[in-house]
Amino acid sequence: MSDRRNTAAERADEYVLGLLNATEMSAFEAEMETDQMLRVAVARTRDRFLELDLAGRAEPIDPDLWSRIEASLGVGDKGAAAPQITTASANDNNRSRWRWAALSAITASAVLAVALGYAILDRPRPQVIAVLMDGTGAPLVVVEDFGDTHPRIIPLGDFEAPTDKSMQVWTLPSKEMGATSLGLLNAWQTTKLDSRALPRPHEEQLYEITLEQPGGSPTGRPTGPILVKGFAKVPR
C-alpha cells in the first residue's frame, strides 16, 4: 500500500509539473477519473507546488501584449501611453512554465488596473482584478472579484472546452484555506459566478481555471490540467 501511495504521488508530481507527453497525459487523466487516490495525489501536489508560482525574475515581453489586452476589452484610447510590461522568463524545462505565466499575469493585471485607471466606469469597481494566462503567456481571461459571491469572468481569447469536461474556477484566499472553488464556467463567455462567501480578496491572490470531470472536481481541490492562471492586483 505504501508503494502505491508513493507511486501515485510521484506520478502526480510529473503530471502537475507538465513532464508528461500528450499520450501519457491523456492516459493519466483517463485513469484519474476512476482512481480517487490519484485525484487526491494531484490535489495535494498542486497545493505543495504553489511556491513555484512566486519565483522568477522579471524580463520584458512582447510590447504588443498591452494592445491585445486593450483591444479584447474594447477599451478605446485614453490618451495615456501604456507602461512597460514585464514578466518572468521560462526556464529551459517544463517545471517553470507556469511560474512564467503566473508572473506574467501579475504584471498584466497591474497594467489593467493602473494604466487604464479601470476605464470601465459603468460597472461596480472590483476589489481585485486578475489576468489569467495560459502556459505560453497568452492572456485569455480577466477575473473581477468584487468581494462578494459573484465574481465576474471575462474571456479575452477563444477557447473550446472538451464536451466531456467542466471548466472550474479556483482561487487561493490563503495557504491555510488552500485552493477554493468559485464555481463552474458553463460557457466561454462573460459570466458572473455564484460562489461561496470567502475572505476579502487581496493583492497577489491566485486565480486559475482547470479542466475537471463533469460537474466539477470530486475532491474539492483542483485535479485536472490548468488552462489559465494568474495573480490579482488591486485597482488604483
Residues 96-144 have pLDDT tens digits of: 455 555 555 554 544 454 445 445 445 678 999 998 988 888 888 999 9
% of residues, the chain, pLDDT over 70? 65
Tell whether pTM > 0.75: no
Q: Hey, what's the cell of 113?
A: 488596473
Q: How far apart are CA 113 and CA 230, in angstroms?
A: 14
The reported pLDDT for the residue numbered 208 is 96
The reported pLDDT for the residue numbered 93 is 43
What's the pLDDT band for 65 if we cut at 50, 70, 90? low
| CB within 8 Å of 34: residues ≥ 6 apart | none
| Residue 127 · residue 157 · CB < 8 Å | no
What's the pLDDT band for 2 if we cut at 50, 70, 90? very low
Average pLDDT over residues 83-104: 44
CA dihedral 4, 95, 217, 31 (to 10 degrees): -40
Q: How far apart are CA 206 and CA 77, in angstroms?
A: 30
- Whether 198 shows a pLDDT value over 70: the answer reads yes
| Residue 69 · residue 120 · CB < 8 Å | no
What's the pLDDT band for 158 if we cut at 50, 70, 90? confident
Could you identify the residue written with the cell 493519466? 28
Instruction: Write out pLDDT tens, residues 9-64.
Output: 888 888 877 778 878 888 888 888 888 788 878 877 776 665 555 444 444 455 56
Q: What is the mean pLDDT of the chain?
A: 74
Q: How far apart are CA 150 and CA 148, in angstroms?
A: 6
Residue 183 zone, left/alpha/beta (φ > 0; ψ -120 to 50; rest): left
Q: How far apart are CA 46 and CA 65, in angstroms?
A: 28
Average pLDDT over residues 165-171: 95
| CB within 8 Å of 222: residues ≥ 6 apart | 42, 43, 46, 168, 170, 179, 208, 210, 212
